[in-house]
């Protein structure tokens, strides 16, 4: 691999034609790196990306965040970026799907929607680069309050931006991959989801991989439609924490997926449904139960197939 | 007590201008944005860096740049005798303050308005040269966190004992009663950001020679830190599945 690794203070180039990007500064007519990392060149734009950094938000990203504060007409959400994001009162769905102007009664009832320390999934609506204010919105049925599940954190660069971040895996686990590295695992609403036993997966050829991805998309879309129907019925039920009945097998599957994610993050491999399922399948083949998946030697075994796939 | 014997060897067998063995480990704490474990002889310092992130102390918020928050704490088991030192006492605060001011010159704070960068320093073993070790460890942790800086910040201590200029003191030499000079340097610019002279007074005629020795020591530490970072970066690039 042809990459240029630079150290802090190392001269990258001394051409005056290069445009200074992130991670560089000018000194004595030279372009010097201000971080230790890899040089990226796009035409004349030269930038240095450090190997580890915080989440850098982009408009349209799906993120998972935790409510830190309830303010007058918005909520402050921690998304692991340089600043906390804001979720405005006008940017959420009102119960019943009603479209109206938010009144002072709504401002009083803010805690009935979201309270401090609750997890939500949302999309980044806009970023004001001058004040660095990140605005979120939950104007879709797949976003909103997250409950009855498990939360995992991984480095944000492992999650690539893709078409859908709200996914239902074939083993019945709901997966929300936040672009900020915050991941939510849960069980989707009951419906006719095609839940296959992991031992029945065949993920060897590319056609089978494609079939599996199609299945995931189908299941995910079904789950979103169910949420839609649920919304129109009751008043604040959309925002109430639902106590789902989660069976022991479902909990085991959630743990398996969570440990698969941790194994991938340990080897710094990209996290997307195919890689997670490859690790899960390998764990079944090798008879490693979820509790032992996070042991160092097991993690190496589990991620070997994914490493081959990446190369 | 004899600090430099007739053959020119010190208590631990070093020559007058020799540094102690330096070991750098990066990325030791998984949850912190950046972390480093720095060993200089028997002095060990662990630093965790968080940031830039949302500011917690609203009063200190600056609209055009980030603030640095340094917390310096010494473990109770780090010295020869078990001693509980509070993070809030005047000495710790003064040390934290001087470290903060040094880093304000190197970190590019204007890139992160209304944010804060936290540097948490924990001294695990104190065998002389604690503050230089803290500064060196903090530099490594900041680089590990990907915080943009204009230069490394390297530091070392020196003194004038037994008619000799000594470099990189251990705690026996520090307790000898001679003046301790701590130099913090920007290696590329060769500029001093922090200079502390304490414990005793020093004669002007000796000062220049000691300062030069200190600067020389800092440059050598800078080279060691640079090679450690380079090695760590290349290892990470090679071991990762993606870039």
Q: 10 Å Cβ neighbour count for B192?
A: 16
Judge whether residue A196 has pLDDT over 70: no
CB-CB neighbors (< 8 A) of B226 in chain A: 7-9
- Could you tell me if B54 lies within 8 Å of chain A, comparing CB atoms? yes
Residue A272 structure tokens: 């997307």
Say if residue A210's pLDDT is above 80.
no
* Residues of A in Cβ contact (< 8 Å) with B114: 83, 131-132
Helix-then-strand count for chain A, H and E: 6, 17
Tell which residue, A157, A43, A195, has the closest CA to residue B240: A157
- Residue B243 scores a pLDDT above 80: no
For domain A52-146, the question of CATH label 3.30.300.10 is answered with no
Query: Is B145 close to A53, i.e. CB distance below 8 A?
Result: yes
Q: What is the pLDDT of residue A287?
A: 83
Which pLDDT does position A283 carry in this prediction? Answer: 87
- The answer on pLDDT for A10 being more than 50 is yes
HEC secondary structure over chain B? CCCECCCCCECCCCCCCCCCCEEEEECCCCCCCEEEEEEECCEEEEEEEEEEEECCCHHHCCCCCCEEEEEEEECCCCCCCCCCCCCCCHHHHHHHHHHHHHHHHHECHHHCCCEEEEEEEEEEECCCCHHHHHHHHHHHHHHHHCCCECCCCEEEEEEEECCEEEECCCHHHHCCCCCEEEEEEECCCCEEEEEEEECCCCCHHHHHHHHHHHHHHHHHHHHHHHHHHHHHHHHHHHHCCCC
pLDDT digits (tens, 9 = 90+) for A67-126: 999 999 999 999 999 999 999 999 998 877 778 888 888 888 889 899 999 999 999 999
Q: What is the pLDDT of residue A290?
A: 86
| B204 CB within 8 Å of a chain A CB | no
Superfamily (CATH H level) for B22-240: GHMP Kinase, N-terminal domain (3.30.230.70)
Do residues B147 and B131 touch, judged by C-beta distance below 8 A?
Answer: no
Question: Quick check: do A5-50 and A52-146 share a fold?
Answer: yes
Pick the CATH number of A5-50 from 3.30.9.10, 3.30.420.40, 2.20.28.120, 2.40.50.100: 2.40.50.100
From A49, A45, A50, A53, select the one nearest A19 (Cα to Cα).
A45
pLDDT digits (tens, 9 = 90+) for B154-179: 999 999 988 889 999 999 999 988 89
Nearest CA in chain B to A22: B148
Of B147, B230, B237, the CB nearest to A38: B237
Whether complex ipTM tops 0.90? no
Domain spans, chain A? 5-50, 52-146, 147-311
Q: How far is A105 from chain B (nearest CA, A)?
A: 29
In the block, residue with structure tokens 């999309």: A123
Work out the average pLDDT over A2-26.
86
């Amino acid at each position: 691999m042809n990459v240029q690794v630079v150290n802090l203070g190392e001269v990258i180039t001394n051409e005056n034609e290069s445009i200074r990007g992130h991670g560089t500064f000018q000194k004595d007519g030279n372009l010097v790196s201000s971080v230790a990392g890899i040089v990226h060149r796009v035409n004349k734009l030269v930038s240095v990306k450090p190997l580890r950094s915080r989440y850098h938000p982009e408009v349209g990203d799906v993120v998972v965040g935790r409510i830190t504060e309830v303010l007058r007409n918005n909520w402050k959400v921690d998304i692991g970026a340089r600043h906390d994001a804001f979720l405005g009162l006008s940017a959420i769905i009102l119960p019943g799907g009603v479209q109206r102007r938010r009144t002072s009664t709504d401002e009083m009832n803010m805690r009935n929607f979201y309270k401090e320390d609750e997890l939500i999934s949302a999309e980044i609506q806009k970023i004001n680069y001058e004040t660095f204010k990140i605005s979120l919105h939950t104007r879709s049925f797949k976003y909103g309050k997250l409950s009855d599940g498990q939360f995992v954190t991984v480095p944000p660069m492992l999650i690539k931006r893709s078409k859908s971040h709200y996914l239902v895996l074939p083993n019945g686990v709901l997966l929300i991959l936040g672009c900020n590295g915050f991941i939510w695992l849960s069980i989707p609403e009951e419906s006719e989801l095609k839940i296959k036993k992991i031992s029945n997966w065949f993920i060897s050829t590319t056609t089978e991989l494609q079939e599996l991805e199609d299945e995931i998309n189908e299941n995910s879309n079904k789950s979103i439609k169910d949420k839609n129907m649920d919304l129109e019925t009751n008043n604040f039920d959309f925002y109430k924490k639902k106590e789902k009945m989660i069976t022991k097998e479902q909990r085991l599957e959630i743990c398996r997926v969570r440990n698969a994610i941790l194994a991938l993050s340990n080897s710094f491999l990209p996290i997307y449904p195919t890689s997670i399922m490859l690790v899960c399948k390998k764990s079944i083949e090798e008879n490693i139960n979820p509790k032992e998946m996070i042991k160092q030697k097991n993690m190496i075994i589990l991620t070997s197939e994914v490493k081959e796939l990446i190369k | 007590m004899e600090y430099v014997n007739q053959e020119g060897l010190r208590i631990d067998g070093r020559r007058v201008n020799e540094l102690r063995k330096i070991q750098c480990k990066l990325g030791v704490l998984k949850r912190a944005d950046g972390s480093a474990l720095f060993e200089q002889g028997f002095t060990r310092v662990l630093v965790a860096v968080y940031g830039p992130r949302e500011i917690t102390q609203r009063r200190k918020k600056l609209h055009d740049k980030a603030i640095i928050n340094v917390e310096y704490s010494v473990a109770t088991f780090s010295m020869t005798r078990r001693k509980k030192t509070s993070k809030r006492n005047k000495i710790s605060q003064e040390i934290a303050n001087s470290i903060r001011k040094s880093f304000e010159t190197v970190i590019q704070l204007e890139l992160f308005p209304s944010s804060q960068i936290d540097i948490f320093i924990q001294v695990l073993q104190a065998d002389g040269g604690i503050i230089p070790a803290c500064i060196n460890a903090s530099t490594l942790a900041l680089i590990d966190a990907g915080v943009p800086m204009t230069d490394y910040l390297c530091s070392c201590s020196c003194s004038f004992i037994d008619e000799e200029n000594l470099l990189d003191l251990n705690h026996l030499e520090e307790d000898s009663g001679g003046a301790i000079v701590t130099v913090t340097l920007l290696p590329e610019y060769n500029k001093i950001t922090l200079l502390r002279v304490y414990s005793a007074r020093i004669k002007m005629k000796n000062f220049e020679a000691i300062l030069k020795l200190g600067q020389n020591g800092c440059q050598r530490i800078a080279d060691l830190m640079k090679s450690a970072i380079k090695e760590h970066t290349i290892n990470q690039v090679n071991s990762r599945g993606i870039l």
